[in-house]
Structures are given as C-alpha cells and as structure tokens.
Amino acid sequence: TPISSADAVILYARNFVPSWAGAIAIDLLPAVLVMILAVTHGAIRSGREGAAVEDTLTLAELRAALAAVRDVDAAMQESPAHKRAAPAPQQPEETDRREDTPGHVTPIKST
C-alpha cells in the first residue's frame, strides 16, 4: 500500500541522516585539509626565524648572486680606473731577509 509523504519522511529519516552527514563531511574536507596545511606551513616558517641567511638561501638566489658578482667584476675590469697601470709590486731582496722573519723556517735537528 502506498504511504503518504509525511509518513515517508518519518519512515526514512534514519536513512537520510548518514547520507547527509557524509555529504557535509565531503564538502568540508577541502577546508580541513587547507587548515592543516596552513598550520603546518606556519610551524615550518616559524622554525626558520633563527636561521642565518646562508642557511635559507635557495639555489636560484645563489645563482642570481653569483651572476651579479660576475657582472660587477666585468664592469670593474672595463672601468677606466682599473685600466690605469698599477705600480709593479716590489720584490724583497734576498740580502734583506733575516732569519727571524715568518717566511724563513729553521729545521729542527733530530738526535
């Protein structure tokens, strides 16, 4: 025998609650995952605050810094101030060398 709409709602209400709860859980799952990732990312970033710059330097940043240093060196080589003749470094004469200078090593005699 057919039942009325009101009787069907009362009769099948128990079957509706689990499917409704499952649908809500599926809808809220992305928000929960984003929340977990946000907390994890925040914890990771807070752990880096005491780290030195060289510990947090990425490979791309290191390559960019090296390229900048090479550019500066190339610009310095082409500058007029660098092209001026530098005075030749003076060579120390062998006669001026004393035995107590740091460059001289006296061998130890073994017995």
Report yes or no on 96 lying in a domain: no
Number of domains in the chain: 1
Assign 3-class secondary structure to the chain: CCCCHHHHHHHHHHHHHHHHHHHHHHHHHHHHHHHHHHHHHHHHHHHCCCCCHHHHCCHHHHHHHHHHHHHHHHHHHHCHHHHCCCCCCCCCCHHHCCCCCCCCCCCCCCC
Residue 43 pLDDT > 80, yes or no?
yes
Report yes or no on 20 lying in a domain: yes
Report yes or no on 102 lying in a domain: no
CA atoms within a 13 Å half-sphere pointing along the CA-CB vector of 81? 2
Residue 98 pLDDT > 70, yes or no?
no
- Of 58 and 108, the structure prediction assigns the larger pLDDT to 58
- Of 77 and 47, the structure prediction assigns the larger pLDDT to 77
Report yes or no on 89 lying in a domain: no
Report yes or no on 99 lying in a domain: no
Report yes or no on 104 lying in a domain: no
pTM: 0.34
